[in-house]
Amino acid sequence: MSDASTQKPYLIRALWEWCQDQGQTPQIAVKINAQTNVPQGYDENGQIVLDVSSEATQDLVMDNEWIRFQARFGATAHQIDVPVSQVMAVFAAESGGGMGFEVSDDAPAPAVAPEPVEPVAKRTGSPLKLVK
């Protein structure tokens, strides 16, 4: 693994926290692949932008290989599973501030999506639960 790929999950979590602290809406741009579980019909050209704010997600978990949460699309709740390797960018919806990442078509697939673990903490105490 390159330094950039090992830093990526930490940078995603740091930018998520920065957006939340600034009162902005953290979003991720994702390149969809076979391991990505997102609702069909909401993508554009094999990509999707997801609101990952505390208000838009339930049971958000961001570990070193996966971003997992539940969210509503229309009136239907969906389980979302995104391999960190497929995240193209994390940014604030309001300002566009954030960071882009290179996503390779031949990125190795992460291990099978883990069983749900403790979600990102509520805005009391530490905002992120780092999962190894």
* CA 90 – CA 99 distance, rounded (Å): 6
| Ordered per-residue pLDDT tens for the chain, 132 residues | 456 668 999 999 999 999 999 999 999 999 999 999 999 999 999 999 999 999 999 999 999 999 999 999 999 999 999 999 999 999 999 999 999 999 987 656 666 555 554 454 443 444 444 343
Domain-wise residue ranges, the chain:
3-100
Is the domain defined by 3-100 classed in CATH 2.30.30.220? Answer: yes
What does the block give as tokens for 95? 């300002």
Token pair recorded at residue 58? 């339930």
Sequence-ordered list of residues with C-beta below 8 angstroms from that of 10, at least 6 positions apart, any chain: none
Cβ-based neighbours of 50, under 8 Å, separated by 6 or more: 27, 28, 30, 38, 71, 80, 82
Predicted model pTM: 0.79
CB distance 38 to 80 below 8 Å: yes
